[in-house]
Amino acid sequence: MQSNTERFPKGFLWGGAVAANQCEGAYNEDGKGLSTQDIAPRGIIGKITKEPTEDNLKLIGIDFYHRYKEDIKLFAQMGFKTFRTSIAWSRIFPNGDDAMPNERGLQFYDDLFDECLKYGMEPLVTISHYETPLALSKNYDGWVNRKLIGFFENYCKTIFDRYKNKVKYWLTFNEINSVLHQPYMSGGIFTDKEKLTKQDLYQAIHHELVASAMAVKIGHEMMPGAKIGCMILGVPNYPLTPDPSDVIEAMKQDRENLYFADVHVRGVYPKYMDKYFKDNNIKIIMEPGDAEVLKNTVDFVSFSYYMSSCATSDLTKAKGASGNIISGVPNPYLESSQWGWQIDPKGLRYILNLYYDRYQKPLFIVENGLGAVDELVIGKDGNKTVDDDYRIKYLNDHLVQVAKAIEDGVDVMGYTSWGCIDLVSASTAEFKKRYGFIYVDRNNDGTGTLERYKKKSFNWYKEVIRTNGKNLI
Ligand code: BG6
């Protein structure tokens, strides 16, 4: 029997993850342009507004833009080996199509990455995390327009050149497959979801896939030694029953997501998409050179994992379980979070094996965590804290399954827990749903001092990292 110390490889990248738009705030400071998030006060569940409105909690976020030094110091206290954040594209190119970058935006990330490196923490950078410059969305309809490939290429060249000596790990598009469900938030597509044709949606996806491969190509040329990965919203689909029709349905639903990783890893469209395109009368317009660019495949596959789902061919049962982006049929064997997300630690072992068998590429879990209502109390030492045993249990149970997957033979590079510090949620844009090891005093109505307090899970995670997983049970 292997001891716990050996269950995670030496150099395993333990850490935490956030995204610029959910924590930085400072939405209009130092030359930043508006992003799609700045006019989405209710996240993906509500309507967008004409202008940024005060009830949009993301405009201030947790004021990470001004407090990052304090926060990075806390992450360092937990022993983070890596910190995942995104670069807000509209801080660098306020309108997305500007000729020149915004120096103050570039300087902010220089300072942020220096602060991480000061503590020996590798920045893990998402190039685009649900925060397309608003002007690209309004004026071009986001990724529906092929011109975005060029703007994105220019943005990538700028940040690669600037941070090539500071950032080794890069992710192209956050949860790239989520564009299927959230075209505005994920793809900056301004056309109403209801009016968006499948032709335009899949053409937009093609543009993103080409842009992602282009980023890998120029990233490798400009930064030898850099590791560039794709990022997939990982939700495995189980057949609801052993009925073979349910098994086929699960296969089909899995392919909707796997298709994105398949292109990133294999460098070509999978054969099964031919039928899908034919059945749905979709004709992907491939320009000369696209097929060649797609051959620039990723170094690793990263993904988020919060839940699994069930698939059924029986339409009368085909609804019920919630999720932030994808919802499916409830699994009677699983419990749910306060937001209705089904909790399935074993699903993480399953998806790690599924991806590794399919791709034989290193895998990186770059999001996983429990969104819950936390209560601030006075701890034994007189400091404010949260007794978040439920979060410790959730994370422990998932990490035990990661260890089992590693034992199965899966190559796992690292694990960054989502929302390592409380932040504004993506789907509902609220503050009440907290993921962090660090409590931030901010409420749904916008009140709060923005002070930071360590939760019980803070010291627990610190111990996980210190012992390289030995304290997991
Ligand atoms: C992922 C996103 O889908 O889930 C994050 O990449 C998001 O941006 C996370 O915050 C959790 O979702 P939510 O809606 O609870 O914030």
- CATH code: domain of residue 410: 3.20.20.80
Question: Measured at the alpha carbon of residue 261, what is the angle toward residues 140 and 168, in degrees to the nearest 5?
Answer: 85
Tokens at 15, concatenated: 């850490």
Contacts of 377 (CB under 8 A, 6+ apart): 384, 385, 386, 387
> Would you state the pLDDT for residue 30?
98
> Would you state the pLDDT for residue 456?
98
**Annotated active-site positions, please?**
367
Nearest Cα residue to atom 14 of ligand 1: 427
* Residue 78 within a domain: yes
* Residue 46 within a domain: yes
- Atom of ligand 1 at shortest range from CA of 130: 8
CB-based contact 421:452 (threshold 8 Å)? yes
Distance CA(442)–CA(207), nearest Å, equals 38
> Would you state the pLDDT for residue 374?
98
Q: What is the pLDDT of residues 412-439, one digit of tens each?
A: 999 999 999 999 999 999 999 999 999 9
* Residue 473 within a domain: no
* Residue 282 within a domain: yes
> Would you state the pLDDT for residue 80?
99
* Residue 336 within a domain: yes
* Residue 276 within a domain: yes
427 lines ligand 1 (CB under 6 A): yes
Low-confidence spans in the chain with pLDDT less than 70: 1-5, 317-327
The widest CA-to-CA distance across the chain, in whole angstroms, is 66
> Would you state the pLDDT for residue 38?
98
> Would you state the pLDDT for residue 318?
60
> Would you state the pLDDT for residue 44?
84
> Would you state the pLDDT for residue 329?
87
Domain containing residue 177: 4-466
- Atom of ligand 1 at shortest range from CA of 419: 10
- Residue among 324, 337, 364, 434 whose CB has most ligand 1 atoms within 8 A, to mutate: 324
Query: What is the total count of domains within the chain?
Result: 1
> Would you state the pLDDT for residue 2?
47
Distance CA(56)–CA(429), nearest Å, equals 8
> Would you state the pLDDT for residue 322?
59
| Interstrand relation of 363-367 and 384-385 (parallel, antiparallel or unpaired) | unpaired
* Residue 471 within a domain: no
Rounded to the nearest angstrom, the distance between the alpha carbon of 228 and the centre of ligand 1 is: 21
324 lines ligand 1 (CB under 6 A): yes
Distance CA(424)–CA(447), nearest Å, equals 13
Rounded to the nearest angstrom, the distance between the alpha carbon of 324 and the centre of ligand 1 is: 7
* Residue 472 within a domain: no
